[in-house]
Amino acid sequence: MSRNLIASAFALACVATVSASSYTLDASDQYSGSKFFDGFVFKSEPDPTEGYVQYSTQADAASTKYGSKLIDTVNGASYMGVDHTNTYTEDQQGRPSVRIESKRFYNHGLFILDLAHMPASICGTWPAFWTYSRVNYPAQGEIDILENIHEKTASLNVLHTSPGFSVAGNNISKQQTNNQTTYSCDDNATSSPYGTQALKQGCTGTNSDPNSFGSTLNAAGGGVFAMEWTSDVIRVWNFDPKKVPSDVTAGKPEPSGWGLPSFTTAQGTGKIDDHFKDHRIVFDTSFCGLYAGQKGFWEETSCYKKDPVKFATCKSYVGANPEAYKDSYWLIKSLKVYQETGEAPSVPASSLSEASSRIPASSNVPASPNVSASIILSPSLASSTTGSSANVEPGATSISSSR
Ligand SMILES: *[C@@H]1O[C@H](CO)[C@@H](O)[C@H](O)[C@H]1NC(C)=O
Ligand SMILES: *[C@@H]1O[C@H](CO)[C@@H](O)[C@H](O)[C@H]1NC(C)=O
Ligand SMILES: *[C@@H]1O[C@H](CO)[C@@H](O)[C@H](O)[C@H]1NC(C)=O
Ligand SMILES: *[C@@H]1O[C@H](CO)[C@@H](O)[C@H](O)[C@H]1NC(C)=O
């Protein structure tokens, strides 16, 4: 082959690659500005993860019932905070906050979140941005894009599935920047070819970017998170606000040019379309509960260490210290869900009900505290369990949760 022929074959291949991965944005899949909250349902029932939290209705959140508004639009960005005025006792339901779930269901897409601020790294908190299906949980999967607890400053990525889905991390080849700590995404798995894990842990990786969660992310001016979900792969990236790829800024995202993702399912096992289906997008800020409320994790916090008697439990601190939570807020510039050109668009909830015949009636009860509660291990578990958990498998005391 002549040099020219090779060159043009290469150029053709590039063109084909670029056009195959072109993403477009439908107006109904852009969440921003004064219309942001119109795209979400406020879930005001008890937290499925047993958090010390009262999730507010939209009307209450928009009022000053709790001293200041829990939701607002600030210079075009969407604010979601928590009650930072009132105190609560441990026997009460907990600190008022917000949990919203998208009205639309998604199958595939490129989800790009532009954050100005997220709940800071504060004792007692458990904020998250994630997607999932309640239907026969976890049969249709959960994708945790941004979450962690307490004073952490690096995000976790976690998938929860039914049996038959796993990731390879960097064990086959270097393909992600996360530190993968568990590999089977099956909530019932206790091992994978790469080691043991705890029941309900899912496949978990910790972001290697020290500014990927909470206070350090806020100090860096926010961040952009992207999650790509196709039939072939689920990948996550995050970008410093000063290093956002220009194609993202221009509204023509091309993940092929972004370099190594923090997380990928590439080279894992299982078919994505068999394990991930009809997801809603969720933002929430919970307190304590199945993950942050665990004794081992609470006792790692500076708030416990400063006064172990007064603040023996996560709830005691969260209830008594409203002023600590002023920075527990999301400030979202935009969330955009692009679809690959030619893919079916998202589906409004009205036309794809979770109450359809595919859903066993018993599992379609949003208020049931344990329908969707699943416990996963946190990567930091080893450090939190020393001494107190001899009867538990190494690592098995840091339970986090998918909601
Ligand atoms: C996990 O195991 C339990 C008990 O055998 C079973 O009821 C449940 O359906 C399993 N869950 C998954 C996700 O396979
Ligand atoms: C998998 O990769 C991790 C590092 O990411 C390494 O510690 C571990 O030994 C590897 N396991 C196998 C079985 O290759
Ligand atoms: C929830 O958990 C409680 C206590 O473990 C149990 O009694 C109840 O049956 C569970 N409910 C559902 C819907 O699984
Ligand atoms: C990855 O996480 C494990 C478990 O928390 C830890 O022991 C290990 O040091 C981490 N590796 C890196 C490269 O950070």
Report all structural domains of the chain as residue ranges with CATH numbers, in order of start.
Answer: 3-351 (2.60.120.200)
Q: Among residues 235, 209, 226, which one has the least CA distance to residue 334? A: 226
- Percent of the chain past pLDDT 90, that is, above it, reads 78
pLDDT of residue 200: 87
Q: Who lines ligand 1 at CB under 6 A? A: 138, 162-163, 187-188
The pLDDT of 363-369, averaged and rounded, is 23
Nearest residue (by CA) to ligand 3, atom 9, is 370
Ligand of minimum distance to the alpha carbon of 46? 3
| Cα-to-centroid distance, 346 and ligand 1 (Å) | 30
The catalytic position among 45, 90, 101, 142 is 142
What is the residue type of 151?
Answer: E
| Rg of the chain on CA atoms, in Å | 21
Q: What percent helix, strand, coil does the chain show, rounded to 5?
A: 20, 30, 50
Average pLDDT over residues 376-385: 29
Q: Give, in degrees to the nearest 5, the angle at Cα 354 between 350 and 355.
A: 95
Residue at 64: amino acid letter:
T
Residue nearest ligand 2's atom 11 by CA: 194
142 is catalytic: yes
Nearest-atom number in ligand 3 for the CA of 365 is: 13
Question: What's the DSSP call for residue 68?
Answer: S
Residue nearest to ligand 3 atom 12, measured at CA: 370
- Is-catalytic flag, 45? no
CA within 13 Å, CB half, 194:
16
CA of 130 to the centre of ligand 4 (A): 24
CA–centroid distance, residue 138 to ligand 1 (Å): 10
- Residues near 374 by beta carbon (within 8 Å), at least 6 away in sequence: 137, 138, 160, 187, 200, 202, 401, 402
Instruction: Please provide the average confidence, as pLDDT, over all residues in the chain.
Output: 85
What percentage of the chain carries pLDDT values higher than 70? Answer: 81
Q: Each residue of 298-312: pLDDT tens digit?
A: 999 999 999 999 999
pLDDT-derived band at 102 (thresholds 50, 70, 90) equals very high
Of the listed ligands, the closest to the CA of 195 is 2
Higher pLDDT, 396 or 283: 283
